[in-house]
Amino acid sequence: MGTSDSPPHSIYFGYGSNLWLDQMSRRCPSTPYLGLGRLKDYHWFINERGYANIAHSTTYLDQDETDEVWGLIYSLTPEDEAMLDINEGVPYAYEKEVIPVEFWEKGTPDVGKGAGRNVDMLVYIDHKRSEGGYKPREEYIVRMNKGIDDALKEGVPMEYVERVLRPYIPAEEQGVEVEKLAQRQAGGFEDESGVIPARVTAEAVGSGVDLVGGGGGAGAGAGGGGGVKNLTKIWEGRE
């Protein structure tokens, strides 16, 4: 998590293709996996861009069950957060928020069972395209299935995968060329939806500089700099 002399880290909740541990290690090489998270009263869907998104729920699924989103938790250095901003298309596609997430540390007994502890975490949400019912992009199906495999190994419930993810993400191979595209996208995302300006994507991929955030760097965006950066104190102090 860093020393007292190192810049503060953000605690990040990944719920889409960043369930894929290898993708996160390639995009954010200094980012360790911390454990499992559950975000209550939100629902998961594929939006019109063809990628995963979440939105706050206003109604219950039924009398006994509320919406919930499961994800994997990572610690982001400021540099890795800036690179994640680029890959997530901040602020054109996703915006950044700090939201309390129920957390189970990796390696603990019965991870994902019982009650976890609430920790404020960095979450990327697309508020402009907040409706579901759309088809995922073919290469995104590949990346999501790799993420689902990792998520299940880390303790995400199979029931959640079958009920929430599988209606959008079929468990099937997509072909060699689609697999190759998925691998390229995992290493450095290039937007195919037209939402992120082409020059931003091209320059970011070529230089690795945080051009998307408008110079704000880590902690910029809808979540605000101070609130995101201070998340390390919550984690390191086990508050």
Q: What is the mean pLDDT of residues 144-153?
A: 97
Is 219 annotated for ligand binding? no
Q: Give the H or E element holding residue 96.
A: strand 95-105
The mean pLDDT of the chain is 81
State the DSSP H helix or E strand holding residue 152, giving kind and residue range, or none if neither: helix 138-154
Are 150 and 72 a contacting pair, CB within 8 Å?
A: yes
Q: Identify the residue whose tokens are 């390191």.
A: 236
Higher pLDDT, 62 or 238: 62
| pLDDT greater at residue 220 or residue 137 | 137
Q: Distance (Å, rounded) from C-alpha 144 to C-alpha 5? A: 37
Residue 18: which of 42, 57, 54, 66 has the closest Cα? 54
- pLDDT number for residue 187: 86
Nearest alpha carbon to residue 15 among 40, 48, 37: 37
Is 94 annotated to bind a ligand? Reply is no
What is the sign of the dihedral through the CA atoms of 21, 27, 28 and 29?
Answer: positive
Buried b (16+ CB within 10 A) or exposed e, 57-93: eeeeeeeeeebbbbbbbbbbbbbbbbbbbbbbbbbbb
Catalytic residue among 68, 88, 102, 139: 88
**Is 207 part of any known ligand binding site?**
no
- State the pLDDT at residue 199: 53
Asked whether residue 45 is marked as a ligand-binding residue, the answer is no
Q: Which CATH superfamily is domain 10-236 in?
A: Gamma-glutamyl cyclotransferase-like (3.10.490.10)
Confidence of residue 93 (pLDDT cuts 50, 70, 90): very high
What does each C-alpha distance from 226 to 8, 97, 122, 176, 221 come to in angstroms? Answer: 10, 12, 12, 44, 11
Instruction: Please state, in angstroms and rounded to a whole number, the distance separating the CA atoms of residues 189 and 43.
Output: 24
Domain ranges of the chain: 10-236
- Is 16 part of any known ligand binding site? yes
- Residue 12 is assigned to a ligand binding site: yes
Question: Is residue 202 helix, strand or coil?
Answer: helix
Q: What is the pLDDT of residues 164-202, one digit of tens each?
A: 999 999 998 888 999 899 999 898 888 888 898 865 555
Answering whether pTM is above 0.75, one says: yes
Helix (H, G, I), strand (E, B) or coil at 182: helix
**Distance set, CA 229 to CA 117, 150, 171, 205, 232 (Å):** 20, 27, 37, 25, 7
Query: What whole-number distance in Å separates Cα of residue 63 and Cα of residue 66?
Result: 8
3-state secondary structure of 54: strand
d(CA 59, CA 225) in angstroms, rounded, equals 32
216 marked as part of a ligand binding site: no
Dist CA 93 CA 51 (whole Å): 10
Q: How many CB atoms lie within 10 A of CB 40?
A: 13
Residues 166 and 153: their CA atoms lie apart, in Å, by 17
Q: Is 88 a catalytic residue?
A: yes
